[in-house]
Every structure is written in C-alpha cells, then in structure tokens.
A and B are shown apart, each in its own frame.
Chain A
Amino acid sequence: MSTGEKALGSVANYVDERTGAAAWMKKNLNKVFPDHWSFMLGEVTLYSFIILLLSGTFLTFWFDPSQREVLYEGEYQPLNGLKMSAAYASTLHISFDIRGGLLMRQIHHWAALLFMAAMIAHLLRIFFTGAFRKPREFNWIIGVGLVTLGIVEGFLGYSLPDDLLSGTGIRIAEAILQAIPVVGTYLAFFAFGGAFPGEAFIPRIFTVHVLLLPGIFLALITVHLMLVWYQKHTQFPGPGRTEKNVVGYSLMPIYMAKAGGFFFIVFGVTAFLSTVASINPIWLYGPYTPGQISAGSQPDWYMGWLDGLVRMSPPIETHAFGHTISWNILIPGLIVPGILFTGMALYPFIESWLTGDKREHHLLDRPRNVPNRTALGAMSLTFIVVTVINGGNDIIATNFSLTINQIMWASRIGIFVLPPLAFVITKRLCLSLQRADRDLVLHGKESGTLLRLPHGEFVEVHQPLNAHETFALTQHEQKPALVLPTFDDHGVKRPRAMLNKWRTRMSSAVSEQIQKPTPDDMKEIEHH
C-alpha cells in the first residue's frame, strides 16, 4: 500500500469517527453512473456555472455599478476626456488597466454563452430521449426554470457595462415593461426609479445579477443534482440494461477523475476561446446615450429568438377609451414566450395524459421510437430557428445581399408554415427509420458479398444480426393508443365526451408506430 493510499485511509477514518458517515459515504462513493457522451451536456452547464461564479467574483472587485457621470481619463486613448457612467468607465478600467482583467471579462462572457448553449443542448437531450418522464417531472420543471432564469441573468449581465449596445437593450426591455396594460408605466417607473434611463437601474440590476439570481441558481442547481443523485441517472437501453438496474462506472475513482478532469477541460476551452476570440468589445461601442445607436445592434444569441419575434410582429396597436394596448410588443414580447415556456414546463404531464402512462421510466427512448414527441421537438426547434434568423435579419441582409423586407416576409410566412412542415417530415422520418430497423432485424445487414446463383442471378448475402444487436433494436415498447369507451365498466356514461374524444384522437396520433418484429416474425425467418 502506498503512502497516498494510507493517508486517504486515515482521512476516511478521521471523518467517520466524527460523523459516523462510513456506510453512507461508502454507498455514495460506489454510486454507479451510466456512460454516454450526451450525459456530459448537463456537466458542461454546471462547470460553466462554476466558471461564471469564479470569473464574476473577480470582476466585482473593480466594477463600479453606478450611473453617476464621470470624465474618463484612462489607458484607452480614443475615449479619453469623454463623459460616461462610472459603470462604463470601470469596465474600461478592468479591460485596459487590470492585468488579466480583459481575459476574465472575456472568460465571463464566453462562459455565459456556453452556459446557455450547454443548458439548451441538455434540455434537448432530456426532451428527445424522454428523460423527463415519471419520476423526473419535477427536475424537468426546475430545468425549465433554470433556462428562464439563465436568459434573464445573461441579459442583466451584458447590460451592466452601460455601453451603447447594452443600453439599447435596456431601452427595449423598458419598452416591454411599459407595454403591459394598466400597470406597465408604473412598473417601468418603479424599475428605473423614474423616467428612462435614470441613474438607478444599473445599481439595481447589479444586485439582482450578482446576488439574487445566483443565489436562486445555486439553490435550484443543488436540488436538481440531488434529485439526479437520489433518483439515479437514466440510461440508454441495450442488452443487460433494464428499468431495474443502472449499468456504468462507479463514482470513485472513475467519475471523480473523469468529471473532475472534465471541469478543467471546460475551463481550459473557455480560456482558449477567451484568448483568441474577442467578445463584447465595449470600448468600440462607446458609452450609452439614448440619442445614439449603432447599426447591426444584436443581442446575445439566447435572446435572438425574442428579438426576432418582436421584429416580425405586425404593426398593431389598439387605441380605445383613452388607452393604448401595444399588441406589436405584447404578443411577441410576453404572450408567445409565456405560452412557449408554460407549454414546455407542462409537457411531461401532457404526454402522460395522452399516453395514459403513469409508470416509472429509467430507460431512455431512442427518438425514432417516439415519432410524435420527436416531431414536436423538431417543430419547436424550427419555430425558434425561424425567429433567430429573423432576429439577425439586418446582419443576414448585408452578408447575403438580400433586403430586410425579403427576410422579414419569409420569416412572417415561415413561422406559420415551416414548424408544421418540420413536424410532418420528422414524424415520417422517424417511421422510416423504424422501418429500416425492422428490415435490419428481419433481413440482417448487407455484407458486401455478392453471390451468383446457378441460373445467373446475383444476390447479396445478408448477415444476420447477433443477439445483442437484435435486442437493442427490438427492446422498446410499443403501446397501443388509449381507448376511452363512452360508457365505463359500470355502464356509466363518461363525463366530458368532447375532451375524451379529442384525447383518444391525440393518443392514437402519439402511438403511431411501425410494428417491430415479433418473436413469431423471427421464428418465421429462421425457417427461410
């Protein structure tokens, strides 16, 4: 036994003598986690969050969250002698006077983009593989909450430097607040401590950005991870993997080394990006003033869909009884996002209501085996992609020699036409892939060997799949659609006939499948 092992052993001894945690620690150190590359997406999110906490703390040491007007006299010559807010001046100070300050700013911004990207990718993985099903519905809802907060936190973060670009973003946020019927004007005046821009907003969002939201994040992430720990990770189906077991590697030492090492890899990649790829060069934008703007104003990518929605909205306002309702802001800015996020949060319950499936699920779905859900995901993604494209319509117009009008109209039509089209195409693709799986199981895979029969015909020899491969392609369940007869078992007429009719119709759409090979099919081909 090496000295290192001995030392760790005595640490374990020391801890147990003071906590009695030996049994609990042993169980958790031997905790088994299944392995799949897509399970890293959540990890990337967590590690970017830690990077954000570290780099963000560094930035607060010099950042002055104040809109007090100061005269800039610093290292960056082009802005010397200009009046600006203390927030903007201190951001310049961090970028040009503090060694490593620019690197940390870049790391903070890149980590924020990566945080959102990894979080969305993780969400898509959970959605398309059905990992949100019972018993993990609460973790799904926490996840949807984290995405929502992430968008807000990111927006507040890039608003803090008070440069011309971010000030324009705040102006738009103020207009959205102001558009809320009845209370909007009051909300805007309370949030900004008076008329826009005032001098209160940056100090206030600073507190929200560095204290309130990170606190909520920490709490939610802790619960999110504790639930993953307690409920055990889901696993992809395959031979030897069942609803009753977890096949993988133990925490100590494999995942300690892998996950711990992966944190450093994520941090290292973020540092590399921050070294070679400039992001948010606020010194080029200049300080904020409401009378100026630069062409090509773009939010960070995770806000792009919202901006795209606002851009494509038709110019509708209602003026009645001395009041104004701005539908052109309310619909894209509040109503559509509200419907999207509520629908997303409720989806696990909607699906289980349509399938009538109330059982626990720990084996993941292959997306093709659940065509309807996969198609719905593709449809939502298409919706978002159209809005993101329209959110960058000015940039696309200049780069591809199009007019903004063409892109705007293409998006306005596309937002209604393309998502349903994506649904239909994806569903057909899934069913085709199921058919291909069925063929593969029944006829084997192509071997590349051609055989010439005595009468001259050429045939290709197909190689049968082995038992493991066959199992992987046939293990999934194909549940029939819900049947809700008008009269129940006791001969009593079910209430809510319309709803039931709709539910059974949706359920039969959800359960549309290509029949997977049965044992009988398999027996039959054995006799070929």
Chain B
Amino acid sequence: MSREVAPLSDPGLPDHVHRKADTDPIAEKKAERQVALFFAFSALGTILFIYSYLFIHHDLFIFIPILGSTNAHQLFLGLGLTCSLLFIGMGAVHWAKYLMPDNEVIAHRHEFRSPENERADFIATVKEGAAASGLGRRSIIKRSLALSMGLVGLSPLLLLRDLGPLPEKQLETTSWKTGTRLVTDPGNRPIKPADLEVGAVAQVLPELVEGQERILNNIGKDAVLLIRLRPEEFQLSPERLSWTHEGIIAFSKICSHMGCAVALYEQQTKHLLCPCHQSTFDVPRAAKVIFGPAARPLPQLAITLDSEGYLIAKQPFTEPVGPSFWERSS
C-alpha cells in the first residue's frame, strides 16, 4: 500500500463545499421565506407583549401543565418579550448561515514587533525625552517629586475618614444590664420560667426603656436564645451553672463565627446549629463548639428572677458577642 502523506507540510484549506441554497434557486427561496417567517414571529411576539401589558389583568391565574397555576399577566408578558427578541436573532443568524456568502476569507497578520530601526528610534526618543527632563541629574527634583506623589494620595484617603465613627467599645457592649428583663421577640412580653416547657426554645430581647425604639443595630447584638433543659442534663462549671435558672440557659443568638443568627435548635441532641456555616454548639456544655468553623462558644448570659418572678439578666455579657475582631482580648 502506498500513499502520499506529508505530516509536516500544510495541504492548505480544504475545498469549499457549496450549500444547497447556493446552487438551487428553490432552496434559496425556501431559506429566504424561513428568514421572513422568523421576523414575522418576532412581530407577533411584540403584539403579544403589548396585549398582555394592556389587557391581561395582573391577578389572573391560569393552569399551565408543568408550571402549575401561573400568573397569566406575567407569563404572557414574558413569552411575548421572549418571542419578539428570540425570533429576530434566529432570523438574522439563519440569514447569515444560509443566504450570505460563506466563502472563507484569509487575512494576514502583521507582526506586532516593529522593524528594528523603528524600535531603535523609539527607544532613542524615550531616552532623549528622559534626558531632556534631566530627571536623572536633578536628584532634588526627583526626591521632592517622589515625596509629593507619595503624599498626594493621602488627601482623598483622609476624605473617607468620615464614612463612619470609630468603633470605640461598640462591639464589646450590648443593651443587657444587670436587672434587664428578658422579653419575647416578637411581643415584648416579660417571661416567667413557667412559660417555657422543658425542651422549649425562645428568642428574647432586652426590655425597652420607656420611649426607646427597637433598632436593628441593637437586635444584632442583643438577640438571645432561651433554652430549657432538665437541670441534671447540664455539664457546667459551678459558676456557669449559677448563671442558669431552673434548667433555663441563655446564649447570645449571634454566631461567634460570622454573626449569623444561630437559629436551628435540635431538641434530641440539644445542639444549636448555625445555618450559615454549620457551626454546631452543644447546649448542655455551655455551647461548646463541637463541629464547624466557629472557634468560640456562644457567649452565655447569666439570668435569674426579679421580685415579681420574671426572668432578668443577672449581669451584662462578660465577653463581646458576635464575630471576632482584632481588638477582642479573649
């Protein structure tokens, strides 16, 4: 068997294969009609869009298989827009593919690198310019310019200073004071131990002082979860045990990892789980981290009863709540 194959010599572009529409007038006419049909569909789409916008009521629901009960206004508005756009595109592409010339054209590339003499000229010009400025010789100008350029950026940077106040102690304090009543969220009702059954969980906030509004900044630091276990289930140090009351234990609801609300309590395992990054805290062991990226337990709030039998904070949080920050000392 013999054949002529030269793997390293380029045989050149393959022969051009004509399309049917190039040679057959009937096929050409057909392709032309198809393009026109696409454009006509687009026009119909626009009409559907206008009709839906003006005449289909926004409360009309219809049943469409697969989609189910669907808002007709939204559906036909969308389908109208879809058709008006899609068919213009399909018409244009069909036109280009079947009717416009499909001969491949060869263009030549120019080399990006300039001829040697031009390059030399260019480099010489740059050098001349640099020499003319005398930057190399006048070192005092060079240094003072460097100084001014280095400093000029400081003004716009400083202008950003008033974007916000300094942090001060804001991250380290909450609204919880000694004796602050725990109130339900929502509802703002004070809570008695009897309101919580064993296994129950409740979100609480500090009671508002007269005339004070509940703002999000405070919720972001003050939100607390109350959980009631059987007292014998706790595995706490004597100090931490004294922070609980009749099996009720209180933790900051703001995750010690990145500040999400730790909202998922699993009654069986007594685990608290943060839905953001799955840090898992063991409630009987003072919210010790047993899984996930959080590095610290949720801060525990010491609680007790006031003279009327309502739950109150025994003392403020003893550590900052929420995610870590540079100035945090523990």
Contact = CB atoms under 8 A, between A and B. Distances in A.
Interface of A: 30-32, 99-100, 102-103, 106, 135, 168, 171-172, 174-176, 178-186, 188-198, 200, 231-232, 239-250, 253-255, 257-258, 260-269, 271-272, 274-276, 288-297, 307, 310-317, 319, 322-326, 328-329, 332, 360, 362, 393-394, 404-405, 408, 441, 464-465, 467-468, 470-471, 474-475, 516-519, 521-522, 526-528
B12 A168 contact: no
Interface stretch (B104-112, B114-122, B191-199, B303-311): B104-112
A403 to B, nearest CB: 10
Contact of B105 (A192, A247, A295): A247
Nearest to B88: A264
B327 A468 contact: no
Given A316-B295, A324-B326, A174 B259 contact: yes
Task: Return the 3 tightest CB-CB contacts between A and B, nearest first.
Answer: A275-B78, A261-B92, A268-B86
B103 to A, nearest CB: 8
Given A268-B82, A408-B278, A519-B8, A315 B109 contact: no
A243 B109 contact: yes
- Residue among B5, B73, B107, B264 with max Cβ neighbours from chain A (10 Å): B5
A317 B278 CA distance: 17
Contacts of A243: 109
A326 B259 contact: no
A404 B167 contact: no
Interface stretch (B128-136, B137-145, B213-221): B213-221
B324 A179 contact: yes
B102 A464 contact: no
B36 to A, nearest CB: 14
B313 interface: no
B12 A195 contact: no
Interface residues of B, number: 98
A362 B109 contact: yes
A182 B296 CA distance: 20
Interface of B: 1-14, 53, 58, 67, 73-75, 77-79, 81-93, 95-97, 100-102, 104-109, 111-112, 160-161, 163-167, 170-171, 185, 203, 205, 216-217, 219-221, 223, 253-254, 257-261, 263-264, 275-279, 289, 291-296, 322-330
A293 B323 contact: no
A181 B327 CA distance: 9
Contacts of B295: 315-317, 326, 328
A275 B52 CA distance: 13
Given A195-B167, A291-B261, A521-B7, 11 more contacts: A194-B165, A243-B109, A257-B100, A267-B86, A268-B82, A275-B79, A322-B329, A329-B258, A471-B7, A474-B7, A518-B8
Contacts of A184: 325-326
A263 B86 CA distance: 9
16 contacts: A99-B53, A175-B258, A182-B326, A197-B220, A231-B112, A239-B13, A249-B105, A254-B102, A261-B91, A271-B85, A272-B79, A290-B219, A293-B275, A295-B264, A313-B293, A518-B8
Nearest to B327: A185
Contacts of A323: 326-329
Nearest to B11: A467
B326 A464 contact: no
Q: Taking chain B's interface residues, is the majority helix, strand, or loop, or is none over half, making it mixed?
A: loop
A200 to B, nearest CB: 7
Given A471-B7, A474-B7, A257 B96 contact: yes
Contacts of B87: 268
Given A272-B82, A517-B7, A178 B325 contact: yes
Contacts of A264: 85-86, 88-89, 92
Given A404-B278, A468-B14, A360 B112 contact: yes
B3 to A, nearest CB: 5
Contacts of A255: 96
A291 B205 contact: yes
Contacts of A315: 279, 289, 292-295
A511 to B, nearest CB: 19
B291 A408 contact: yes
B32 to A, nearest CB: 14
Contacts of A30: 105, 107
A172 B294 CA distance: 13
Nearest to A232: B109
Given A191-B163, A245-B106, A271-B81, A292 B261 contact: yes
Given A103-B77, A315-B294, A323-B327, A464 B5 contact: yes
Contacts of B106: 32, 240, 245-247
Given A474-B7, A526-B2, A179 B323 contact: yes
Nearest to B92: A261
A274 B89 contact: no
B227 to A, nearest CB: 16
A175 B105 contact: no
Contacts of B165: 189, 193-194
